[in-house]
Amino acid sequence: MKTRMEYTCPLELTHDVTKGKWKPIILWQLGKGRRSLSSLKKEILGITQKMLMEQLKELLEYGMVEKHTYAGYPLHVEYYLTKRGEHMLEAIAIMQEIGVEMMLEDNREEFLKEKGLI
């Protein structure tokens, strides 16, 4: 990940932080609390471990996520949101609400019920 030095507006930087398929979903999952790598992998359908690690690395570099490594064997690492990540989660929550509205309009109520969203 390389941060650009020139932007048209601050929204471009925010977009760079969250762009891609997985970062908003990772932030959403971490909004539920601390998670290990394996826990995140189980909760995010379709993501590979390599992709998860790459996305977490970028989120760490942008200051959205932190990790805590516990001493001992086997190695145990948990990821969690920083204050900045929690703030970003507020925007992602609005995006989630819009997605729920659109799914309701599209008669996908059963899916939303299965996920506990309505």
pLDDT in tens, 33-79: 999 999 999 999 999 999 999 999 999 999 999 999 998 888 899 99
Question: What whole-number distance in Å separates Cα of residue 39 and Cα of residue 28?
Answer: 13
- Is 5 part of a structural domain of the chain? no
- Is 3 part of a structural domain of the chain? no
Question: What whole-number distance in Å separates Cα of residue 102 and Cα of residue 117?
Answer: 13
pLDDT confidence band for 2 (50 / 70 / 90): low
pTM for the full predicted model: 0.86
Question: What whole-number distance in Å separates Cα of residue 58 and Cα of residue 2?
Answer: 9
Whether 66 and 108 have beta carbons less than 8 Å apart is answered as no
- Is 72 part of a structural domain of the chain? yes
Tell me the residue range of the domain where 41 lies.
Answer: 10-115
- Is 91 part of a structural domain of the chain? yes
- Is 18 part of a structural domain of the chain? yes
pLDDT of residue 65: 98
pLDDT of residue 77: 94
Overall domain count for the chain: 1
- Is 37 part of a structural domain of the chain? yes
CATH code of 105's domain = 1.10.10.10
- Is 4 part of a structural domain of the chain? no
Whether 80 and 61 have beta carbons less than 8 Å apart is answered as no
